[in-house]
Amino acid sequence: MQKMTVKMFSRKNDKKLHPGWPFALLLTLCTQTATAVPFGVFDARTMAMGGVGVASGPQFAVFNNPALLATADEVHEWFLLAPTLSRQLGDPDNVEDSLSAFQQAADTLDGNNNAANRAAVQQQLNALDGNLYSSSRNSAFVLAIPSRILSGAAFFNVYEATTAQPMIGGDNLAAPSYASTLAQRGLRVVENGVAAAKVLNGSGWMRNLTVGFSAKFLLVSGYGYADPLRSADVDINRTGSKNGGQFIFDIGVLKEFGVWKMGLVAKNIVPGNYKYGDSGDVFKVEPQLRAGFAYQSRYSVLELDIDLLENDPVGFGSASQIAALGWEWQVWQWLTLRAGYNQNLTGNEASYGSAGIGLLISTLQIDVAAYSGDESEGISAQLGLQF
């Protein structure tokens, strides 16, 4: 278990806090080692740029770092995101196709139980053994006022993540009868929240330092069961879920050094424990900690984000600790190009590349993104209004 200890405050003449206290506070709040829900990608800009967004992108601050709300230099003060939609699928071992092939082979064996048909069924069972299927999706609405004078936001976000894994064993093909199952684990989170940010008017280190805060209420549902492999499918069944709810908080800071920016965000500060249905397995919502470093000129952004803690997976997935690199270039006032790269730093070491575009037509903003990698692929699209 990792453990970080930080001297949170120091005083000079017992009157003033050390100017670096916001960063120390975030580190102190996140002394736990991992989270059950990986750091999510909930908007098209973030997906297109490989998952970065802690140090740039004020319109999407509620997803990545609430401190960004107070860093905008836009002509329009209000931004409505209605909606953003994304879908991600991970099936590198073709579980869905292999499951269908097994069931077809089993149908054939039911009609004619011979050695060749038994071998075909066993071959399909072997192809499924130890493989993993995963999927996730989200939809969100945001009303943001990203401004250096007055900044705030209200948001609503629904995201789901599921995993399915074949559990092979105990089958009798001579009869035939099947003991193998498809185990399912998944969660659904409905997130309602508000956020605010303020630029601190200090000197020295406190100059151009921004602090942001989000308060959220989560409604959480967990699913967990096993279906007979003979009739199972990869889509999760939401019946038998275990439900719960909690208030939770995010805190972020951002420091600007001219064209350079450094951000740090702690998400899900209040932990919570939930169950994957009646499976007996549990998952936790615990603090996440991510740092971001960005170079932002008039027409371009280059950003690097890194998870400072390893995140536990949803269900049967792999742990993650992400390093992401993203680039954005405003070609014309109406067209923005984006690209990114994302690398998992854990033993899994999966990676993906991404790309996307943004269009601004009068007050209408359209963003689309896609990514593809070692273990998954996804798309995202959103509509926004600036007024």
The pair of structure tokens assigned to 103 is 């069931």
Residues 174-219 pLDDT 10s: 989 999 999 999 999 999 999 999 988 777 777 779 999 999 999 9
Contact of 66 with 195, CB cutoff 8 Å: yes
Within 8 A by CB and 6+ apart from 239, the residues are none
**CA–CA separation, 324 and 52 (whole Å):** 6
Q: What's the predicted TM-score (pTM) here?
A: 0.87
Four-residue CA torsion sign, 296, 384, 60, 312: negative
Average pLDDT over residues 71-99: 85
Q: Tell me, what's the pLDDT at 34?
A: 38
Instruction: Using a pLDDT cut of 90, give the percent of the chain over it.
Output: 68
Q: Tell me, what's the pLDDT at 42?
A: 93
* Maximum mean pLDDT: which of 4-13, 34-43, 296-305: 296-305
Closest CA to 143 of 362, 387, 336: 387
Q: Tell me, what's the pLDDT at 28?
A: 46
Q: Tell me, what's the pLDDT at 374?
A: 83
Q: Where on the phi/psi map is residue 362: left (φ > 0), alpha (ψ -120 to 50), or beta?
A: left
Q: What is the mean pLDDT of the chain?
A: 87
Q: What angle do CA 189, 91, 159 make, to 5 degrees?
A: 10
Contact of 319 with 348, CB cutoff 8 Å: yes
Residue ranges of the domains in the chain?
Answer: 11-92+132-386
> pLDDT band at residue 38, thresholds of 50, 70 and 90?
confident
Q: Tell me, what's the pLDDT at 36?
A: 52
Q: What is the 3-state secondary structure (H, E, C) of the chain?
A: CCCCCCCCCCEECCCEECCCHHHHHHHHHCCCCCCCCCCCCCCHHHHHCCCCCCCCCHHHHHHHCHHHHHCCCCCCCCEEEEEEEEEEEECCCCHHHHHHHHHHHHHHHHHCCCHHHHHHHHHHHHHHCCCCEEEEEEEEEEEEECCCCCCEEEEEEEEEEEEEEEECCCCECCCCECCCEEEEEEEEEEEEEEEEEEEECCCHHHCCEEEEEEEEEEEEEEEEEEEECCCCCCCCCCCCCEEEEEEEEEEEEEEEECCEEEEEEEECCCCEEEECCCCCCEEEECCEEEEEEEEECCCEEEEEEEECCCECCCCCCCCECEEEEEEEEEEECCEEEEEEEEEECCCCCCEEEEEEEEEEECCEEEEEEEEEECCCEEEEEEEEEEC
Contact of 31 with 5, CB cutoff 8 Å: yes
pLDDT of residue 13 exceeding 90 = no
Q: Please, which residues bridge with residue 161 across strands?
A: 136, 187
N-term to C-term CA, the chain: 48
Q: Tell me, what's the pLDDT at 37?
A: 62
> pLDDT band at residue 375, thresholds of 50, 70 and 90?
confident
Closest CA to 230 of 317, 108, 131: 108
Closest CA to 308 of 63, 21, 39, 66: 39
**CA–CA separation, 184 and 165 (whole Å):** 7
Phi and psi for 94 in degrees, rounded to 5?
55, 50
The pair of structure tokens assigned to 277 is 């249905």
Contact of 197 with 211, CB cutoff 8 Å: yes
pLDDT of residue 90 exceeding 60 = yes
State the residue for tokens 């071959």. Answer: 123
pLDDT of residue 355 exceeding 60 = yes
Q: Tell me, what's the pLDDT at 165?
A: 95
Residues 112-127 pLDDT 10s: 999 999 999 999 999 9
Closest CA to 342 of 307, 308, 294: 307
pLDDT of residue 228 exceeding 50 = yes
**CA–CA separation, 222 and 282 (whole Å):** 9
CATH code linked to domain 11-92+132-386: 2.40.160.60
